[in-house]
Amino acid sequence: MRKIILNLAVSLDGYIEGPKGEVDWCLTDQDYGMGAFFDNADAIFMGRKSYNMIDGMPSPFGDKQIYVFTDSPFMVPNDDIIAIGSRNFLKDVQAIVEQPGQNIWLFGGAGLLSSFIKHKLIAEFILSVHPVVLGGGKPLFSDVREKLDLMLMGSETFSTGLIQLRYVIKPKFDLSMLDQQLSSLN
């Protein structure tokens, strides 16, 4: 089964966009592992607002299948883009994940991220923390209603001060299962 991986840039104070929607603070002077990540993904999930930010620009996504999550009327410009509405959100996402293929990049935005967290659909979190404090903007986590325990799987520090963190959702430890296993040993 394919994995959904969140991979995005965040400021040190937790914003994914500046106060006016700007992303010019993101470091682009080197690859930061994106080439290898990109090679292992064949689909991209993004919200409508994220799509609107890149619409009309040359696609940075090459031949990747793009899924745009939206509840607004949306004219699909070509076969590389599939619109997904909220009516069958879980069913549609599950069907995509079960298709053969590589990883799926959860590209953004904050609203879509909240929905994926709520339904526990993200297999891995890759956060590239940029050495900048924006003081305001769009927060990475805006509508998360319950605690989500994460387990650090690795980190990488770059010469520019960018730190890339890799997390998975921490597995729940079920004490009743442990009790059953221990009693079966006696």
**For 4-185, which CATH class?**
alpha beta
Q: Where along the chain do its domains lie?
A: 4-185
DSSP class of 74 = -
With beta carbons less than 8 A apart as the criterion, state whether 51 and 108 touch. no
d(CA 38, CA 64): 9
Does this model's pTM top 0.75? My answer is yes
d(CA 75, CA 83): 9
Which pLDDT does position 108 carry in this prediction? Answer: 82
Number of separate helices (H) and strands (E) present in the chain: 5, 10
Q: Give the position of tokens 């079960």.
A: 98
Q: What is the pLDDT along the chain (186 residues), one digit of tens a residue?
A: 899 999 999 999 999 999 998 999 999 999 999 999 999 999 999 988 888 777 766 667 878 999 999 888 777 767 678 888 888 889 999 999 999 999 999 998 888 999 999 899 999 999 999 999 999 999 998 888 888 899 999 999 999 999 999 999 888 766 565 566 666 665
DSSP class of 106 = E
Exposure letters 49-74 (e unless 16+ CB within 10 A, then b) = bbbebeeeeeeebeebbbbbbbeeeb
